[in-house]
């Protein structure tokens, strides 16, 4: 059987074992959120030997050349020595600059030790001690000096429980920056743009919306935000204050009526969706029925594991 080594530890594992499972079964507590190669919380670095990688395209070429792999996507086929991602060495320090509560949603703003290059719609792995979780950036690059995140703390969870205890001046670490499906393309300027979000799925769309306005978007812009209760429309006032943007704030039990009224104003309408998987699937299905081509619907889903 193959031997797996981490630091001074060395043990045998069955051939074709999942690398993330093998590490966690040995008590090494590698964090993860999605197990789908999207969150990038389970990064490890291969020092000797390489596993079979089911999703090599999930990491950029430069990271792969340095030996980084997503443990959840790797099978151990031979002897392997790896180093775990160490936020103290591999992460970028960032100080908490602002903490604002909107009912159960925490708006967290961080000042990184050095500037971070990113695009509206990307997400970033946040490390609070040994706990890591990916969150979408709600801030606008080149305009906001801080990095902004919206954290849903309605339920208990390892990261959320710690987030509730944060204070201004505390230090977190920034891990892997990841680009999802959501972005703003200047070629869309004359096309209708719909931004549909559930809960804190609004975070990346808040950044993308402001990016579209900054670039002088000329087509109609419609925002639909779904929440469990009125207090869940945590950016309602901010959204409604934006000129030229149509905003619809919908509660979950009103969603079916709202969806039945979705009618694209033009065949060229671009739609961006973000939220929990079930809600995103429901929205995407209704858009298809309404006549929006699938290649004009971009979606990101987030795990509710916190």
* Domain C-terminal end among 58, 85, 112: 85
Q: Which domain holds residue 274?
A: 186-301
CB atoms within 10 A of CB 29: 10
pLDDT for residue 104 = 94
What CA–CA distance (Å, rounded) separates 10 from 304?
34
**244 falls within a domain:** yes
Q: How many helices (H) does the chain have, and how many strands (E)?
A: 8, 19
Backbone dihedral angles phi then psi of residue 46, each to the nearest 5 degrees: -80, 120
Q: What is the pLDDT of residues 91-133, one digit of tens each?
A: 999 999 999 999 999 999 999 999 999 999 999 999 999 899 9
The structure tokens listed for 275 are 């939220």
**Residue 283 above 70 pLDDT?**
yes
Query: Which residues on adjacent β-strands are paired with residue 100?
Result: 107
CB atoms within 10 A of CB 241: 10
**157 falls within a domain:** yes
**Residue 224 above 90 pLDDT?**
yes
Greater pLDDT, 39 or 300: 300
Q: How much of the chain exceeds pLDDT 90, in percent? A: 77
* Domain C-terminal end among 178, 196, 221: 178
What CA–CA distance (Å, rounded) separates 273 from 205?
8
In contact, 33 and 133? CB cutoff 8 Å: yes
* Domain C-terminal end among 85, 114, 148: 85
Examine the domain organization and report whether 11 and 108 are in the same domain. no
Examine the domain organization and report whether 127 and 200 are in the same domain. no
**Residue 47 above 90 pLDDT?**
yes
pLDDT for residue 40 = 85
**Residue 261 above 90 pLDDT?**
no
Q: How much of the chain exceeds pLDDT 70, in percent? A: 99
Looking at residue 114, which CATH number applies to its domain?
2.40.30.10
pLDDT for residue 306 = 54
Predicted TM-score (pTM) of the model is 0.88
What is the three-class DSSP state of 52?
strand
CB atoms within 10 A of CB 280: 21
Examine the domain organization and report whether 190 and 165 are in the same domain. no
Examine the domain organization and report whether 156 and 207 are in the same domain. no
Looking at residue 65, which CATH number applies to its domain?
3.10.20.30
**306 falls within a domain:** no
What is the three-class DSSP state of 18?
strand
Number of domains in the chain: 3
**Residue 178 above 80 pLDDT?**
yes
Q: pLDDT band at 180, cuts 50/70/90?
A: confident
The string of DSSP letters for 150-205 reads: EEE-SS--HHHHHHTT--TT-EEEEEEEE--S----GGGTTS-EEEEEEGGGHHHH
pLDDT for residue 296 = 95
């Amino acid at each position: 059987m193959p031997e797996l080594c981490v630091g001074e530890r060395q043990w045998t594992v069955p051939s074709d074992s999942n690398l993330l499972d093998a590490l966690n079964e040995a008590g090494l507590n590698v964090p993860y959120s999605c197990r789908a190669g999207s969150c990038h919380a389970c990064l490890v670095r291969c020092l000797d030997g390489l596993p079979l990688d089911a999703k090599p395209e999930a990491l950029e070429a430069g990271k792969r050349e340095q030996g980084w792999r997503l443990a959840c996507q790797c099978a151990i086929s031979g002897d392997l020595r790896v180093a775990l991602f160490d936020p103290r060495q591999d992460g970028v320090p960032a100080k908490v600059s602002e903490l604002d509560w909107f009912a159960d949603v925490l708006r967290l703003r961080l000042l990184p030790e050095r500037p971070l290059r990113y695009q509206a719609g990307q997400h970033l792995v946040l490390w609070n001690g040994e706990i890591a979780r990916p969150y979408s950036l709600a801030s606008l690059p080149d305009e906001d000096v801080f990095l902004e995140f919206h954290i849903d703390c309605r339920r208990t969870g390892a990261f959320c429980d710690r987030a509730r205890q944060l204070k201004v001046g505390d230090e977190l670490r920034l891990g892997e920056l990841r680009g999802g499906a959501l972005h703003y393309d200047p070629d869309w300027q004359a096309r209708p743009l719909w931004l549909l979000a559930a809960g804190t799925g609004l975070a990346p769309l808040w950044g993308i919306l402001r990016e579209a306005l900054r670039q002088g978007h000329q087509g109609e812009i419609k925002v639909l935000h779904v929440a469990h209760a009125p207090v869940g429309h945590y950016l309602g006032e901010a959204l409604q204050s934006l000129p030229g943007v149509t905003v619809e704030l919908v509660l979950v039990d009103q969603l079916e009526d709202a969806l039945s009224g979705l009618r694209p104003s033009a065949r060229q309408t671009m739609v961006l969706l973000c939220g929990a998987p079930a809600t995103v699937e429901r929205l995407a299905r209704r858009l298809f029925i309404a006549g929006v081509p699938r290649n004009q619907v971009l979606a990101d889903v987030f795990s509710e594991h916190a």
